[in-house]
Structure formats: structure tokens, C-alpha cells
Amino acid sequence: MDSKIVLLPGDGIGPEVVAEAVGVLQVVASRFGHRFAFQTCPMGGNAIDSHGTPLPDETLAACRAADAVLLGAVGGPKWDDPNAKTRPEAGLLKIRKELGLFANLRPIKPSRHLLDASPLRREIIDGTDILFVRELTGGIYFGESGRRPHASGEEAYNVMIYNTGEIERVVRMSAAAARGRRQKLTMVDKANVLEASRLWRQVTGRIMAQEFPDVKYDIVLVDAMAMHLLSRPRDFDVVVTENLFGDILTDEGSMLTGSMGLLPSASLGTPGPGLYEPIHGSAPDIAGKGIANPLATILAAAMLLRHSLKLEDEAAVIETAVDQVLSSGHRTKDIAASGPSVSTREMGTLVVEAIGKP
Ligand code: IPM
Ligand code: MN
């Protein structure tokens, strides 16, 4: 197979972790006889510096023309000035919107080799296997926002807005995913307060009854979900929720695995390239030190092979290799507790070696 993959390494630790994922994709290509053409483009803070915008038109055009996009992370203190006219994060929101990536898949499945890396007790997390589907191109992230004068100074507002179609498409994708898993869908909302949540509840209830009678369906309020995720994570299969709730709950969920450095994500939607990224940020505090965990990005590369290139066997080979490396006891600093640790590069090389000799 011949495929075009655009790389958006971004800022902070982004370039370090993307480099390791590329090494892994290259060894997969040679083992299975594929050709992946990589093109690296500026995005995020570095693009603000070089092009004055976090998502240059040429970068967006290259992404549209690709089969898939692999992203590191964007942002950093250098671009945090509240008065700046643009921010790295704006580029991320724009690429999600422009590529129509309305569903963000964030699997949370703690490795059995890392059950003691989580701050939670092993008997709580053992056996957890959740697929979070976060709505990604609507809600408060994209609603009207602004500031206006107020007697006390100013007031600022962000509008949470959803329409029927936006809810239907992400619920359908989530319910279809549940069919291939344990046939259970949980919808998380705040319908006791928010009108937008009441529309979510109405639309989801209808879609589930009409189109997915075989999938068990329940509803949990977001505040309760924050608690259940820590007390009984095993009870959930697929969880679908709106953009901001999904952002918050999946960072919380990452602690079930022990580190943000382990969680990949896939952003999918309308036909066209998918966007794959670790759920962690640019970690400016450790950027350049060579200690970041590349496994989230390597696992994002596996999701890229599975979802955009339909290479299921190749994706599974990466996941098995990661499992082997962890099972052999290799750890980056974030998951090493007080034991010895390997560098970003060493971890990438260990995964490459595990793939190279099946
Ligand atoms: C994420 C990140 C982004 C988000 C930020 C960087 C804009 O936190 O992908 O979860 O809020 O969506
Ligand atoms: Mn986030």
C-alpha cells in the first residue's frame, strides 16, 4: 500500500514523540511491504513564529490531500500571552473543524503490566476497557463568545450550542462502535441544568430506540460520571459525550492507565483524512530533555493504521509490541515510579525492535 501521511510535530515534546512514532511506522512499512510518504508541516506555536498563524493554509491543504495526519502537541508558555492575537490551540480547533472531525475516540484500557502505575488501586482498574467518544467540533468550543461592558467592569461569555444533526452523527458512530464491543453505550450530560444536554438526551434516546435496540443504553450526569470513573470504571463500555465534558473526563480517565503519556486518540468524521494524536499536551517543562513517553503517539500511529489505512494486522502488531516492551519491564520516567527509566528514543527503539523480530 502507498499512503501519504502528514506529520504535524507541533511544539514542546511534540517533535520528540512524533519522531519515535515515525520510526515505528517505518519498520511496519518495511515488514509488511507498504510505502508511507511522510510530509512534515508547521502547526501550532512554531507556525505562529514562522507564518504568523497556527494553521497555515499550506498545512491545511497538505492535510486535506493526505490519507492521514499524525500530530504531536501544540502550545507552550511562549505563546500564552492573553493579549496575543492568536494562540497555538486555535490551530488545533481549526484543523478539527476544517477536516470535519466530529468524533474523537479515546480508548482507556490500562495495561496489565502497569496496574501499579495508577494512583488508583489495582482491584478497581483491573479489567477496565472504555472507549470514550468525545464530540469534537461543536458545543462551547465553537459557540459564540465575546466580552462586553458590565457595571462591574466587563462580562465574558461562551455559548454551548448543539443541533440535532451534530448529536445524531456522533451518537450513531458511538453506538456502532459499541456493537463491535460489549454492546453498551453510556451518554454523559448535564440535563438537569443545560438545555443543550436536554437536546442530547432527546436525540440520543430516539436514535438508540430506533436504530440500535440491540445496544444497552444508559445516561449518567457528568458530575456523577467524574465519580463513577474512579469508583467503578469497569462498568463502562462506550461513553459518548459533548466536547467540553469529554475533554475533562478523558484527562481524568488517563489516570486509570497511570500516565497521560499512554493515551492515544483518533479524530474521525466525514470521509477524508483522520487526525491522530496523543491526548497529552506539549509538556514544556520536560521538552528537549529526551524523557517524554512516546507510547501515546506510537499507539496513535496504530490507530492511524487501523482507522484511516484499514491495516488492522499492522495496527495490532504495534499494540502487541508496546505490550511486550512494557511486559519486559521497560519504563519511561512518567511510569517508572522510583525504578530505572529509559529515554524517549530508547523506548521508541525498543518498540521498533519488538516489531522487527516477530
Ligand atoms: C485536547 C486538548 C485541546 C482541547 C486543547 C489543547 C485545545 O486539551 O486535545 O484534549 O481542549 O481539545
Ligand atoms: Mn484536553
Q: By percentage, how much of the chain surpasses pLDDT 70?
A: 99
* CB atoms inside a 10 Å sphere around CB 108: 25
Q: Atom 7 in ligand 1: which residue has the minimum CA distance?
A: 89
Active site residue 184: no
Contact between residue 344 and residue 291 where contact means Cβ atoms under 8 Å apart: yes
Contacts of 277 (CB under 8 A, 6+ apart): 70, 71, 72, 73, 264, 265, 267, 297, 300
Mean pLDDT of 97-119: 95
Active site residue 276: no
Q: Atom 11 in ligand 1: which residue has the minimum CA distance?
A: 247
- pLDDT tens digit string along 123-182? 999 999 999 999 999 999 999 999 999 999 999 999 999 999 999 999 999 999 999 999
Cell, residue 57? 493554509
Choosing from 132, 245, 247 the residue with most ligand 1 atoms within 8 A of its CB, the one to mutate for a pocket test is: 247
pTM summary value: 0.96
Contact between residue 160 and residue 139 where contact means Cβ atoms under 8 Å apart: yes
Residue 82 pLDDT: 87
Q: Atom 3 in ligand 1: which residue has the minimum CA distance?
A: 89
- pLDDT tens digit string along 34-76? 999 999 999 999 999 999 999 999 999 999 999 999 999 999 9
- Closest ligand to the CA of 96: 1
Residue 1 pLDDT: 86
**Distance from the alpha carbon of residue 92 to the mean position of ligand 1, in angstroms:** 8
**Distance from the alpha carbon of residue 342 to the mean position of ligand 1, in angstroms:** 27
- For ligand 1, is residue 92 a contact (CB within 6 Å)? yes
Cα–Cα distance for residue pair 263/303, rounded to 1 Å: 11
DSSP string computed for 262-319 = G-EEEEE-SSS-EEEEESS---TTTTTTT-S--HHHHHHHHHHHHHTS--HHHHHHHH
Residue 270 pLDDT: 83
Measuring CA to CA, which residue among 260, 208, 278, 280 is closest to residue 238? 208
Contact between residue 188 and residue 250 where contact means Cβ atoms under 8 Å apart: no
- Closest ligand to the CA of 278: 1
The phi and psi torsions of 112 (rounded to 5 degrees) equal -65, -15
Q: How confident is the model at residue 22 (pLDDT cuts 50, 70, 90)?
A: very high
Mean pLDDT of 78-86: 93
Q: By percentage, how much of the chain surpasses pLDDT 90?
A: 96
Catalytic residue, from 247, 276, 333, 334: name it: 247
Cα–Cα distance for residue pair 65/273, rounded to 1 Å: 8
Cell, residue 102? 466530529
Mean pLDDT of 218-234: 98
**Helix/strand/coil percent split, the chain, to 5:** 45, 20, 35
Minimum-distance ligand 1 atom for the alpha carbon of 243:
12
Measuring CA to CA, which residue among 262, 215, 214 is closest to residue 240? 215
Instruction: Tell me the CA distances in angstroms from 235 to 110, 218, 228, 250, one per residue in order.
Output: 14, 11, 9, 16
Active site residue 285: no
Active site residue 116: no
What crossing angle do the helices spanning 14-32 and 312-327 adopt, rounded to 10°? 120
Residue 128 pLDDT: 97
Residue ranges and CATH numbers for the domains of the chain are 1-110+259-358 (3.40.718.10), 119-256 (3.40.718.10)
**Distance from the alpha carbon of residue 299 to the mean position of ligand 1, in angstroms:** 18
- For ligand 1, is residue 279 a contact (CB within 6 Å)? yes
**Distance from the alpha carbon of residue 290 to the mean position of ligand 2, in angstroms:** 23
- For ligand 1, is residue 247 a contact (CB within 6 Å)? yes
Instruction: Tell me the CA distances in angstroms from 10 to 15, 67, 148, 275, 331, one per residue in order.
Output: 6, 19, 34, 13, 24
> What's the distance, CA 131 to chain centroid?
11
Q: How confident is the model at residue 311 (pLDDT cuts 50, 70, 90)?
A: very high
- For ligand 1, is residue 135 a contact (CB within 6 Å)? no
Dihedral over Cα of 195, 201, 206, 207: its sign:
positive
- For ligand 1, is residue 168 a contact (CB within 6 Å)? no
Q: Are strands 216-221 and 184-189 parallel, antiparallel or unpaired?
A: parallel
Residue 358 pLDDT: 58
Q: Atom 8 in ligand 1: which residue has the minimum CA distance?
A: 247
Active site residue 247: yes
**Distance from the alpha carbon of residue 355 to the mean position of ligand 2, in angstroms:** 30
Question: Under DSSP, is residue 7 helix (H, G, I), strand (E, B) or coil?
Answer: strand
**Distance from the alpha carbon of residue 30 to the mean position of ligand 1, in angstroms:** 33
For residue 319, is pLDDT > 90?
A: yes
Residue 151 pLDDT: 98
